[in-house]
Amino acid sequence: MGKERRFFDGISRCGRRAVVVCLFLVSTMASAFGISFTSRLTGVTTHPDFWAGVFPSSVRSFIGLDGITILEGRKTEVGAEIATGTIARTITVNPITGKALDTTDDANIIANSSYDVMYASWKAGIAQGIGWSEQSQTDFLTLRFSLDGQWEVALDPLMQSENRKGHPFTTLPMFKTDGEYYGTPLQGTPDLSGDRRLLSLSFDLYGKVNYLLMKTGSSSGIATEFKFTWAPAFMNLSSDKGGVADFWKLWLFANGGLMIHQAVDERGMNKWSLGLSNEFEMRVFGGNHIPAYAMTLKGTTWWYEPENMTFMARNVVKLDYYGQQFFGSCIPYVYAFVDLSYSGGRTNNIKDSKIGSVWAGSMGLHFELQLFGVVHLFYEIGRIFLYTGENPAYKSGYRLSNSLKVSVSVSGGGGDIDWST
């Protein structure tokens, strides 16, 4: 461990020096050319075991140069989004083989499939709006190009910290029972290889077409987002001693709404409304080593994880009902949903020529109380009605949330460009 520790200590020293030099150059330029800066909070993430998931365990913020305009009347942003904190993850594949976990796997791996990640990520680049959308009152098309970075280290779950008995991290499933590493790299979980640390850079091209009007109690129109990410092996800075990333990803997300009826009071606040909404999400992977952070979905699947394959697509249809709006943006919200997903191709991170095909589907009800557009209290009940894969955890049957759940969100304002996706 001595060499590994010195390796990452060296990276840390270089990182600190780079930050100091960058801050000096930026402050010098700002003073010389009269440049000012703007900043805003762009996102928060909660941890289920941190203050019952009520308070954020990680935050995102954007810092940009103020007053830059490329196209007159359109939004231009040059800067960086920085995120840091702790999040929860679950291993859904065998770290050694990359195959989906099932009852034939090592009991130690299954019992310790949950772990936490301390991370820092960043996007540095330029975003430009093009055209105007009367529907959404924002730029019709936004393009963003950035150099992204991801640093993370896997940790024992927060709630198991008292069980370490002087041997931290040894309950993680990428370890043998004697605390030694399984090897480098771990084929199924390349980002957990070596000493469980990952440091990787990638190029990111993102775009959004916005023709979606969203208000408290209603949504109408459509918005589409797309992204291409390339994280080549030569930009993986931890491959010698830690985690490995070498992949490309093509991602698409579209959501739309259609109002059936809406009644408002004399103040213009929602009395009740009924509408239809739809979400479609698709991703395609390529490359030799795909880390867990690259697999994150924007939409939420209900009670199952999509199969870890090169292709995935999902669609959710919702019947939305909003009740009486109160205290400004507070409102009760109920929707019935039907969720259908398909995974196909080869399993990621393993050299297997077998082509797979898996369907999954669910339906149910979601009850939610939205408070001030930030806090969401919700409860769900539903049933998995279709699963054609081999994982026994996803057999048909009713599922209930164990308790009332809480999520926290941050909404942009004033036509701000989205850097968090």
pLDDT tens digit string along 69-115?
899 999 999 999 999 999 888 888 888 778 777 666 666 666 667 88
Which range has the worst mean pLDDT, 147-156, 167-176, 218-227?
167-176
What b/e string do you get for 71-83 counting C-beta neighbours within 10 Å, with b at 16 or more? eeebbbbebbbbb
pTM, to two decimals: 0.86
Cα–Cα distance measured from residue 34 to residue 50, given in angstroms and rounded to the nearest whole number: 42
Q: Provide the Cα torsion 240, 243, 246, 248; round to 10°.
A: -160
Task: Map out the domains of the chain as residue ranges.
Answer: 1-35, 36-408
Tens-digit pLDDT profile for residues 159-202: 654 444 444 444 555 555 455 555 556 888 899 888 888 999 99
Q: Looking at per-residue confidence, does 271 or 46 come out higher?
A: 271
Mean pLDDT, all residues of the chain: 83
pLDDT over 70 (residue 124): yes
Tens-digit pLDDT profile for residues 334-368: 999 999 999 999 999 987 778 889 999 999 999 99
Q: How many helices (H) and strands (E) does the chain have?
A: 2, 15
- Top-tier CATH class for 36-408: mainly beta
pLDDT over 60 (residue 150): yes
Query: pLDDT above 90 covers what percent of the chain?
Result: 50
Residue 22, helix vs strand vs coil = helix
The band of 309, judged by pLDDT with boundaries at 50, 70 and 90, is very high
